[in-house]
Amino acid sequence: MTTATTVKTEYEAIIGLETHCQLSTNTKIFSNSSTAFGADPNTNIDPVCMGLPGVLPVLNEKVLEYAVKAGLALNCQIARYSKFDRKQYFYPDLPKNYQISQYDLPIAEHGWLEIELVDAEGNPTRKRIGITRLHMEEDAGKLVHAGSVGEASRNETRLSGSSYSLVDYNRAGVPLVEIVSEPDLRSGLEAAEYAEELRRIVRYLGVSDGNMQEGSLRCDVNISVRPVGREEFGTKVEIKNMNSFSAIQRAIDYEIERQIAAIVAGDRIIQETRLWEEGAQRTSSMRVKEGSSDYRYFPEPDLAPIEVTDAELEKWRSELPELPAQKRHHYESELGLSAYDARVLTEDRSIAEYFETAIASGANPKAAANWITQDIAAHLNKQKLSITEIGLTPTNLADIITRIETGKISNAQAKEKLPDLLTGISPEKAFAGLELITDPSVLEPIVDEVIAANPKELEKYRNGNTNLKGFFVGQVLKKTGKRADPKLTNELVEKKLNA
């Protein structure tokens, strides 16, 4: 009997991503209008981005710098000579009825990035995903569909169940880089990790905030399936409208199953663009996919070609930070951290820098990782803060860890005082008068006193209820205001109870 699982293993998915990443410049790619998010509709506009007659675009130098840095970080070959092109298409949110983009001579090509998948046991699996190209382009505006269907007459065109549409041109002319991957991805999980790693990289570089909820990072997926062992690709389908990494994974997994089921049933897969419906958890057809010939590309006559000099290239290369994958390798191979800890610590550049400053100040790497990924992370999540907004400096964290490891304070004391420490109180002040009692001659009489004060519990312990050892340890800690060294207390209590 052939099962659904058997059918699925007879096919493989071929997946590539086209990622539009908004660059974090203050002004637009060809004009000086602001790129600030959240402004009132049609306030960040100007004659250039509106395509008014007689105006000319001028390239924002910062856009070129950010594009080259992104290309270098993705191990691309940077074009010393490239140009802009006009991409023709007609839509209400594109004022000029063409988009200025790059076609046959992009700024960067032939790169790669490494993704890392960690299994349930914490073991990492690494895979290199090719980057076909990275090119600069301007964004279009945004259509806002409004009104209800009931407000429209039967003869009116209804878009998305609305009676009318409004256009906000604030995004028109916002600078983008489009990053096109090779078809090297094979699952929704790999594609989601690729997109996440891409966001980590552009955030580390400081060239984009990568906020998907604000449209700063938008991914379109190209996916086809083919029988295992066949070299020829199947018919490609594009999926749009995914606003999270989990949505990317779910949309791909759904589309793989849909295409396999259609092929098995003898149906034809058509080249089309489909939308991901988050509520229904399915893809639906949007339009037949255009080909490059439909866009009628030709060189942009109003912009000169771009030449990147040796001096510019070396300057921008020298400004690149250590990237997430490099940090993960370093943390695992040289600092002995687990793949999980390395991944969490490198998720955000500010967290990685906090960690590195702590260990440079003398903190044990594993202990620093535990504090940052557990107790401090819990506080950050609860208060919705970044690590740069807390009062506990990495140097003070190193001080706390050293105090614990040298027996001056206990781990429990440090955790108890953490809320105060996070507000900026120094370890000296927080732990004043709380140094651990580590002298057996001081602790032994206290242990004797606690045992003598609890004869019933002593009798139960000696009759086999050895769990009561924790009770006696707790009483000693209570009596000393938690200043008794926990390890020494355990040893003394056990010795006295078994005497």
Which is more confident, 7 or 168? 168
User: Looking at residue 7, what is its pLDDT?
Assistant: 58
**Cα–Cα distance for residue pair 31/171, rounded to 1 Å:** 12
Over range 430-434, report the average pLDDT. Answer: 87
Looking at per-residue confidence, does 460 or 303 come out higher? 303
pLDDT digits (tens, 9 = 90+) for 338-388: 999 999 999 999 999 999 999 999 999 999 999 999 999 999 999 999 999
Residue 376 DSSP label: I
What are the DSSP calls for 231-273, one per residue?
-S----EEEE---SHHHHHHHHHHHHHHHHHHHHTTPPP--EE
pLDDT bracket for residue 1 (50, 70, 90): very low
pLDDT range class, residue 8, cuts 50, 70, 90? low
First-to-last alpha carbon distance for the chain, in angstroms, is: 69
Q: How far is CA 402 from CA 24, 366, 418, in A?
A: 40, 12, 15
d(CA 414, CA 89) in angstroms, rounded, equals 62
Question: What tens digit of pLDDT does each residue of 220-233 get?
Answer: 999 999 999 999 99
Is residue 28 over pLDDT 60?
yes
Provide mean pLDDT across the span 113-130. Answer: 88
- What is 440-497's CATH number? 1.10.10.410
% residues pLDDT > 90 (the chain):
74
SS3 of 382-448: the string is HHCCCHHHCCCCHHHHHHHHHHHHCCCCCHHHHHHHHHHHHCCCCHHHHCCCCCCECCHHHHHHHHH
Residue 149 is predicted with a pLDDT of 53
Q: What percent of the chain has pLDDT over 70?
A: 95
- 235: CB partners within 8 A, 6+ apart: 224, 268, 269, 270, 271
**pTM for the complete prediction?**
0.85
pLDDT in tens, 35-55: 999 999 999 999 999 999 999
The CATH 1.10.10.410 portion of the chain extends over 440-497
